[in-house]
């Protein structure tokens, strides 16, 4: 199959490289010339484990190419995937579809023979209808079908998720389009990943319902963690106790500083907007969004409380900035609200993250960035672990104690055992324990 990927960000680039690895001919297009220049020079514009090697081997095999020329890349393609961003629209929280609509417009003029237009971006119900209308208006002679194929990969484990997905969702009732989609995903069908077909609208909603459910699970255990702190229970015991129930499942039951990232915050909000427009309010998701928003700053206050309630002129070392490990993505990371809360209270912040510092510089002011965890801790009054990068799981606590001016360790990811930390003479604060 000849595949064109419009948008070469986290989703477009990973999907494009994996499709090429399946044996398809793929061109990844982006309007950001710097991104394409980097890819042409063999440099990855994002951090994703294993991506550089996957891209390099498929470029070398002649199956993966990059371009800024959308029209030339679309001509002759069997399928054109739209994988552009759908951020929250400023002001109202609706999904901003301007990039999707602009991409559809540009694709329309270049369609050449029957082409499947596949929406991989996360888009509200009915967007497929709108994309179809845009293309038909722009190019009435075009032969095409619009399919929804939402993406479920997780940053940090994106390649494995793409190649071994829990399921692939294809939304279409067009037989010709379904045939193309089945051919594209055939390598996964051989690997026995379920490929489920449904209406376009059901596929669009499946993505939002999935993310809203996962956000709910995280928020649920976070509130249970708050209760654990009041009643003297350990949330990790409770999470294990419920997670072993197959009906519940153990994943997404790790109490922490609240969900962030490029998807859950914006997708839960967009779902609420769709629900309001359709007069089918989603009260549970409304509560999840409100509780999670409050939680991020509350975690900043938790650090302040651990330090005795006053952090004016104190220095706090923050370990981990990205919303989760193994990515450089800072979008809606809890670290942003936490650091701003500490700064508002008069503290100075020193921070270290293995991959996220360049992105963090774009969204945070007045932070001293350090080259390693121990450099960040050196001379600080307290240290807070915000993201559970592997390298923070086995810190030399004695060295931390020796470098710290103060004696407070706040572990917002529940990585350490209280007894180990306290045995060294540090005061330990965790979440729900």
Name which position in 3, 5, 29, 395 contacts ligand NAD (CB under 6 A): 29
Q: Which of the stretches 78-86, 165-173, 334-342, 395-403 binds ligand NAD when contact is defined by CB under 6 A?
A: 78-86
Contacting range for ligand NAD; rule: CB under 6 A; set: 2-10, 224-232, 342-350, 416-424:
2-10
Work out whether 163 is an interface residue with ligand NAD (CB under 6 A): no
Q: What span, in angstroms and rounded, lies between the C-alpha atoms of 276 and 270?
A: 10
Residue nearest to ligand NAD (CB): 9
- Which of residues 58, 122, 337, 343 is near ligand NAD by CB under 6 A? 122
38 touches ligand NAD (CB under 6 A): no
Show the binding pattern over residues 58-77: x = contacts ligand NAD (CB under 6 A), - = does not.
------------x-------
Q: What is the 8-class DSSP label of residue 391? A: G
Task: Characterise 144 by phi-psi region: left (phi > 0), alpha (psi -120 to 50), beta (else).
Answer: beta
Within a 10 A sphere around the Cβ of 420, how many other Cβ atoms?
11
> Does 121 engage in binding with ligand NAD (CB under 6 A)?
yes
User: Could you say whether residue 94 binds ligand NAD (CB under 6 A)?
Assistant: no
- How far is residue 93 from each of residues 96, 97, 270, 289, measured CA to CA in Å? 8, 12, 6, 12
Nearest-approach distance from CB 51 to ligand NAD, in angstroms: 12
Give the chain's largest Cα–Cα span: 75
The neighbouring-strand residues paired with 319 are 352, 385
Contact at 8 Å (CB) between 48 and 155? yes
Spatial separation of the C-alpha atoms in residues 3 and 80, rounded to whole Å? 6
Sign for the CA dihedral angle at 212, 201, 263, 324 comes to positive
Ramachandran assignment for 305, one of left (phi > 0), alpha (psi -120 to 50 degrees), beta (any other): alpha
Catalytic residue flag (residue 18): no
Does residue 156 touch ligand NAD according to CB under 6 A? no
| 35 near ligand NAD, rule: CB under 6 A | yes
Please pick, from the candidates 4, 5, 10, 142, the single residue that binds ligand NAD as defined by CB under 6 A. Answer: 10
The reply to whether 356 sits near ligand NAD by the rule CB under 6 A is no
Single residue of 1, 2, 25, 31 touching ligand NAD by CB under 6 A: 31
| Min separation Cβ 261 and ligand NAD, Å | 7
Q: CB under 6 A: which stretch of 81-89, 138-146, 247-255, 345-353 binds ligand NAD?
A: 81-89
Based on the shown chain and the rule CB under 6 A, indicate whether residue 149 belongs to the binding site for ligand NAD. no
Which region, judged by CB under 6 A, interacts with ligand NAD, from 100-108, 137-145, 184-192, 298-306?
100-108
Does residue 148 contact residue 174 with C-beta atoms inside 8 Å?
no
- For 410, the token pair is 């706040």
Measured from the Cβ of residue 77, the count of other Cβ atoms closer than 10 Å reads 24
d(CA 179, CA 98): 29
Answer yes or no whether residue 4 interacts with ligand NAD by CB under 6 A: no
The stretch near ligand NAD (CB under 6 A) out of 28-36, 367-375, 378-386, 401-409 is: 28-36
The token duo for 339 is 């650091």
CA pair distance 211, 152, nearest whole angstrom = 9
Q: Does 411 interact with ligand NAD (rule: CB under 6 A)?
A: no
User: Residue 80 — φ and ψ, nearest 5°?
Assistant: -120, 115
Q: Which two tokens stand for residue 75?
A: 């001509």
Q: Should residue 342 be labelled a site residue for ligand NAD when binding is judged by CB under 6 A? A: no
Cα three-residue angle 158-269-117, rounded to 5 degrees: 55
User: How many Cβ atoms sit within 10 Å of the Cβ of residue 265?
Assistant: 24
Per the CB < 8 A criterion, the answer to whether 197 and 172 are in contact is: yes
Regarding 328 and contact with ligand NAD (CB under 6 A), the answer is no
Task: List the catalytic residue out of 18, 28, 263, 370.
Answer: 263
Region from 83-91, 271-279, 384-392, 404-412 binding ligand NAD, contact rule CB under 6 A: 83-91
Establish if 30 lies at the interface with ligand NAD (CB under 6 A). yes
102 touching ligand NAD, by CB under 6 A: yes
Q: How far is the CB of 346 from ligand NAD (least distance, A)?
A: 35
- Are the CB atoms for 81 and 151 separated by under 8 Å? no
- Give the residue numbers marked as catalytic: 263
Q: By the criterion CB under 6 A, which residues form the site for ligand NAD?
A: 6-12, 29-32, 35, 70, 83-86, 99, 102-103, 106, 121-122, 151, 153, 155, 262-263
């Amino acid at each position: 199959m000849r595949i064109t990927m419009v948008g070469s960000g986290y989703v477009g680039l990973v999907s494009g490289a994996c499709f090429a690895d399946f044996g398809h001919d793929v061109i990844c297009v982006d309007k950001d010339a710097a991104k394409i220049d980097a890819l042409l020079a063999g440099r990855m514009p994002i951090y994703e484990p294993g991506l550089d090697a996957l891209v390099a081997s498929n470029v070398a095999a002649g199956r993966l190419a990059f371009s800024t020329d959308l029209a030339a890349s679309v001509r002759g393609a069997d399928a054109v995937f739209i994988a552009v961003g759908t951020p929250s629209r400023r002001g109202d929280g609706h999904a901003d579809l301007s990039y999707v609509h602009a991409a559809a417009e540009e694709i329309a003029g270049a369609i050449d023979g029957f082409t499947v237009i596949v929406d991989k971006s996360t888009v509200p119900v009915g967007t497929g209808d709108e994309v179809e209308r845009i293309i038909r208006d722009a190019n009435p002679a075009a032969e095409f079908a619009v399919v929804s194929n939402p993406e479920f990969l997780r940053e940090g484990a994106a390649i494995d998720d793409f190649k071994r997905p829990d399921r692939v969702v294809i939304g279409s009732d067009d037989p010709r389009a379904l045939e193309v989609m089945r051919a594209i995903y055939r390598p996964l069908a051989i690997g026995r990943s379920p490929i489920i077909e449904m209406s376009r609208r059901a596929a669009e909603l499946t993505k939002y319902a999935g993310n809203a459910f996962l956000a709910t699970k995280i928020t649920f255990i976070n509130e249970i963690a708050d209760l654990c702190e009041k009643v003297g229970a350990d949330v990790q015991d409770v999470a294990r106790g419920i997670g072993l129930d197959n009906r519940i499942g153990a994943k997404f039951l790790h109490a922490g500083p609240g969900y962030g990232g490029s998807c859950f915050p914006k997708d839960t909000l967009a779902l609420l907007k769709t629900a309001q427009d359709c007069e089918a309010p989603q009260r549970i998701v409304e509560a999840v969004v409100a509780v999670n928003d409050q939680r991020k700053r509350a975690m900043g206050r938790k650090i302040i409380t651990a330090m005795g309630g006053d952090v004016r002129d104190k220095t706090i070392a923050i370990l981990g900035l990205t919303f989760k490990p193994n990515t450089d993505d800072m979008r809606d990371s809890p670290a942003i609200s936490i650091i701003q809360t500490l700064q508002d209270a008069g503290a100075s912040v020193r921070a270290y993250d293995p991959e996220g510092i360049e992105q963090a510089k774009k969204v945070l002011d007045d932070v001293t960035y350090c080259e390693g965890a121990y450099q960040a801790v050196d001379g600080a009054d307290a240290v807070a672990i915000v993201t559970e990068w592997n390298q923070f799981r086995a810190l030399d606590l004695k060295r931390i104690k020796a470098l710290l001016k103060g004696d407070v360790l706040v572990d917002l990811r529940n990585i350490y055992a209280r007894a180990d930390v306290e045995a060294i003479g540090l005061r330990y604060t965790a979440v729900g324990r």
